[in-house]
Amino acid sequence: MRVRQEGFTLIELVIVIVILGLLAATALPRFINITQDARIASVNGVAGGLRGAISLAKAKVLVSGSGGGTISMDGVNVAVNASSFPTNATDGIEAAMQGVDGYTVNHTTPDSTFRPNNGGSSTCQALYNSNAGTVTVTSTGC
């Protein structure tokens, strides 16, 4: 009587390892792109924060009945323009946001740009227009 052993041969194991390597190599590029996706999500998050700050400031001006000047948001003075939107300055939209950690803010008339410090090009930004109270996101170059 002959006893027969069962199991995998060395060549079968090598073939399985090669197939797993090929599958991993095709999945790897998807995981490499995660940094860009995170940067885009971060810029979109800041844009959402900007929109929220704009809405709260406008509501505060409408409730108080003052048009332009300075309002108090959670104990922080925020400069608003005649259209009841936060101004494009440090004491305006930045004060209304109450924190822009990780972002470089540049104030020009009438826009303020919020760019992430952790890379990306100059086109990866959230743009706040103080005249219209609008926020535009540009994610190309993130």
Q: What is the pLDDT of residues 105-122, one digit of tens each?
A: 998 878 899 999 876 677
Has residue 10 been placed in a domain?
Answer: no
- Host domain of residue 92: 36-138
For residue 23, pLDDT beyond 80: yes
Instruction: Tell me which DSSP letter residue 92 carries.
Output: I
Has residue 62 been placed in a domain?
Answer: yes
Count of the separate structural domains present in the chain: 1
Alpha-carbon distance values, 100 to 43, 78, 130 (Å): 11, 15, 17
For residue 54, pLDDT beyond 90: yes
Has residue 25 been placed in a domain?
Answer: no
This prediction has a pTM of: 0.75
69's enclosing H/E stretch is strand 69-73
Residues 6 or more apart in contact with residue 61 via CB below 8 angstroms: 67, 71, 80, 84
Has residue 20 been placed in a domain?
Answer: no
Has residue 57 been placed in a domain?
Answer: yes
For the chain, how many residues are written? 142
For residue 27, pLDDT beyond 90: no
User: Cβ(53)–Cβ(93) under 8 Å?
Assistant: yes
| Averaged pLDDT for residues 12-18 | 89
Has residue 127 been placed in a domain?
Answer: yes
Has residue 11 been placed in a domain?
Answer: no
